[in-house]
Amino acid sequence: MYLYLKLKLSVSTPDAIFNEHLYNFRKIQDNQMQAKVTNILLQLNDQSLMGRITHLRLKKIQYNEWLSTSLLHTIPPHIIKKYRNNFLISSIVLLFSLNIKFYNNDSFNNLFPYNISFYDLLLENYYRYSSFFQKHHILFLEQILDDQDYLLSKRDICVKFNLAPHVALKWYNNLINNLNNNTEALRILNQTYGQQFASAPLKFNQFNVDSERIRKEKNHSAKPILINADNRNNPFIGTPAKRTNFNDVTFDLKHYNIISHIGIHMEIQRCEECDDTTSFFSPSRPHRHQQPASYCNVNVFFNNTVVLYTGTTSKGLNSRIIPISK
């Protein structure tokens, strides 16, 4: 009321005074801000019960929102929005806006030998899945890597975290997408592990009875394109030979060579023979007036084989062209 009266009064006063009133108004706002800043700094630095309660409140929000780092370190945009009426959060946001930073902040990172949080990888999409992650105590990327730092398949994640096999894991594709396309996510990965990945080295879905069932359900009639990593330095690409028996340990992969890999397309061509050839096959219907050609099979382990692509491939000149990303 006081402000209103003052401003109203100023309408009939000379410019100079009017400006001065505005200046006073700003000063009052500054004072309120200053009081808020002083108040929150006192609370955070308080060694008595009040300070402990303040930090507990922050921890509780951090836990409820399932964040790996302290809110005194970073407040994600969705938290700022969700807690805009929360005095504590809005005060800390104010401190950040004044460039006040905190040292000695606790982080869950200190409790685990892990470095890369799902929040860092999923960013603005994280909050959609945070309750799922919290329920299953998943907070860091490292929790879903295997012994060789390869990303677990969805199936293996279900096994590891005791999830029903039909759980959708909607975040998984999001994660893969971000690891490959989000430069910030890749930067974090490279920085943490001292790597120079241009895209993340990922393991996709294991080639098994389930992946074949899913492929058939999606009416993908073409044979899946597989990658086998028996020899990790030189993975084999190919399609499964006819009548693959999933009860065996190994199977025959019709071997293809990558002839070009440009942008989002990869072009592959049947291998005729290589150092790894274990048997040969001939296409069932050779063109007329043509000698039946003979191509290379490589016998490989199922458990090192993942599905690269299950859609239809376009045909190049004596080759197949695979779109790599959606």
DSSP codes, 55-118 = HHHHHHHHHHTT-SB-TTT---HHHHHHTTT-HHHHHHHHHHHTT---SS--BGGGGSS---BH
Q: How far is the CB of 306 from Zn ion (least distance, A)?
A: 19
Q: For residue 274, state whether it binds Zn ion (rule: CB under 5 A).
A: yes
d(CA 156, CA 231): 21
Q: How far is the CB of 274 from Zn ion (least distance, A)?
A: 3
- Tokens 């030998």, located at residue: 113
Nearest-CA neighbor of 193 among 146, 149, 147?
Answer: 149
Q: Contacting Zn ion (CB under 5 A), which of 40, 296, 306, 307?
A: 296
In this structure, are strands 236-240 and 250-262 parallel, antiparallel, or unpaired? Answer: antiparallel
Give the residue with the Cβ less far from Zn ion, 188 or 296: 296
Q: How far is the CB of 273 from Zn ion (least distance, A)?
A: 6
Q: For residue 209, state whether it binds Zn ion (rule: CB under 5 A).
A: no
**79 HSE (CA, 13 A, CB side):** 27
Q: Can you say whether the dihedral through the CA atoms of 247, 248, 254, 259 is positive or negative?
A: positive
Q: For residue 255, state whether it binds Zn ion (rule: CB under 5 A).
A: yes
Q: How far is the CB of 204 from Zn ion (least distance, A)?
A: 22
Give the residue with the Cβ less far from Zn ion, 83 or 256: 256
Identity of residue 306: V
Identity of residue 37: V
Q: For residue 67, state whether it binds Zn ion (rule: CB under 5 A).
A: no
CB burial string 184-203: b at 16+ within 10 A, e below: ebbebbeeeeeeeeeebeeb
Neighbouring residues of 46: CB distance < 8 A, sequence distance ≥ 6: 54
Give the residue with the Cβ less far from Zn ion, 154 or 254: 254
Give the residue with the Cβ less far from Zn ion, 64 or 260: 260
Give the residue with the Cβ less far from Zn ion, 17 or 274: 274
| Greatest Cα pair distance in the chain | 103
d(CA 298, CA 277): 5
d(CA 305, CA 285): 28
Give the residue with the Cβ less far from Zn ion, 179 or 237: 237
Give the residue with the Cβ less far from Zn ion, 111 or 274: 274
Q: How far is the CB of 320 from Zn ion (least distance, A)?
A: 15
Q: How far is the CB of 201 from Zn ion (least distance, A)?
A: 23
Give the residue with the Cβ less far from Zn ion, 203 or 255: 255
The token pair at 151 is 């990303």
Q: How far is the CB of 257 from Zn ion (least distance, A)?
A: 7
Q: Considering CB under 5 A, how many residues would be counted as binding Zn ion?
A: 4
| Binding range to Zn ion, per CB under 5 A, among 157-165, 205-213, 263-271, 304-312 | 263-271
Q: How far is the CB of 236 from Zn ion (least distance, A)?
A: 8
Q: Contacting Zn ion (CB under 5 A), which of 271, 300, 308, 322?
A: 271
Contacts with Zn ion, residue ranges (CB under 5 A) = 255, 271, 274, 296
